[in-house]
Structures are given as structure tokens and as C-alpha cells.
Amino acid sequence: MEKMVKKMKKSMFMFCAGLLLLGWLFAPELPGAGCPAVVSAKVSSRTKRKAAAAYREFMDGTDYTWFCTLDVDKDGMKELLVAYEQRPERILLVYKYRRGYVQRIGEDSTTFGLVYSKKTKRIHGRWGGSGSVEDWYLTFKGGEARRVYLSKIEERVVNGRPVYGYYYKGRRISAKSYRRKKNSWNKSYVQLPMHRTSWANINRYIR
């Protein structure tokens, strides 16, 4: 009798396991199915106030000459952007409030000047020379800044005329697609809203 009960339990277990496997294999595919969904948690007002207070305290103890706050990693909380230069758009450092501390998460520089895109809501940079042109925007993953490029690269010369390759995110695209995205980005660019560092400005703009 005891052996029969064990066999029944084992058979029931195998039957249930089979049903679960079939459900997994033949379930309708949904966006994001098969991997954990990435959800941007809403940042509480309390956390935002703590971040602002931490940024004000941080700025009071540094010699950065320019600053502003923007949500450049699109997680719902503003980051602190700082610079030294007379032209602050050339070299930019980015800090973020994490677990009670202000931590540096990246930097970027270009002699052409960094800008802000109203379309992508990100920091963009530009560079050009020797027949090639590159635009990029910054992402912040793994605690560091990374560039995502839109490029027009001179690859060779045929009968005295340059032949270009067009790329976005490391993949070749058509000249038409390149021009469309390039024009769209250009129209969205505005200057970074940098402020001169002073105690009055820190209290006014870091809220």
C-alpha cells in the first residue's frame, strides 16, 4: 500500500511538471517575455529632496565653476552636471545621488561643445574632421558614461571623390536614414542650462 501511494505521488509530480513545461513552451509571446521586465521605479518626492540637499552640500565643498541639474539617465531623478572651463560645454562631469551619497557616474568632452537634446532628453556631443562627422548621446550604465554614435565616416576615395559609410549604434544605415536622424537631432539641440557657481545660484537652481 505504501509503495502504491509513493508511485501515485511521483506520477502526480511528473504530470504537474509536464503541464508547467508545456505552458512555458506554448504560452503566447508578450513584449519582454522570456526575461525580467525592466521597470523604471517612480522616484519619491522624499528621495528627490534628499538628492537636492546632497547636491547643495556637495557643491558647497567643491571648486567647480558651473553646474546644473538634469535627468540625463531618464530614471526620474535629476543628476548633477558640473564643469570647470570658461566654456563649460566642452568638458562635463556627471554626478548622481545614490544610497545617501553623491557619486560620479561619468564625464565627456568635445571641443565642438556638448548640448542637450529636447527630443532624446539626453546630453549630446559632436565632432568632425578629415571628412568624417560624428554625433552621439550619452547613456549611463554600469556606473560610467557611454557614447551612442551616429556617424558619417569617409571610407575610401573613388575617382577623386570620397565615399562615405553611415552608421547608427554600430550598425550601417542608409544615407537617407542618416540625414533624417541627423536633421532631427540638430533641430532639437539647445545649450546646456549651466549656472555660475555661487551660494545664491546653488540654492535657487538645485531644488
Contact status, residue 122 vs residue 138, Cβ threshold 8 Å: yes
Find, among 100, 94, 99, 37, the residue nearest to 69 by Cα.
Answer: 94
Cα–Cα distance measured from residue 78 to residue 91, given in angstroms and rounded to the nearest whole number: 19
Written as tens digits, the pLDDT of the chain (207 aa) is 444 434 444 454 444 444 333 333 333 322 223 323 233 457 899 999 999 999 999 999 899 999 999 999 888 999 999 998 778 888 999 999 998 999 999 999 998 999 999 999 999 999 987 779 999 999 987 768 899 999 999 999 999 999 999 999 999 999 999 999 999 999 999 999 999 999 999 999 999
Cα–Cα distance measured from residue 49 to residue 42, given in angstroms and rounded to the nearest whole number: 14
Cα–Cα distance measured from residue 100 to residue 162, given in angstroms and rounded to the nearest whole number: 53
C-alpha cell at 149: 554614435
Find, among 89, 92, 73, the residue nearest to 138 by Cα.
Answer: 73
Contact status, residue 81 vs residue 62, Cβ threshold 8 Å: no
pLDDT of residue 129: 78
Contact status, residue 134 vs residue 127, Cβ threshold 8 Å: yes
C-alpha cell at 198: 555661487
- Secondary structure (3-state) at 183: helix
User: What ranges make up the beta strands (E) of 60-131?
Assistant: 66-70, 79-83, 91-98, 101-109, 115-117, 123-129
pLDDT of residue 95: 96
Question: Strand order in 66-70's β-sheet?
Answer: 101-109, 91-98, 79-83, 66-70, 195-196
User: What ranges make up the beta strands (E) of 12-100?
Assistant: 66-70, 79-83, 91-98
Radius of gyration, alpha carbons of the chain: 26
Q: Cell 575617382 sits at which residue?
A: 159
Cα–Cα distance measured from residue 136 to residue 148, given in angstroms and rounded to the nearest whole number: 5
Neighbouring CB atoms inside 10 A of 163's CB total 11
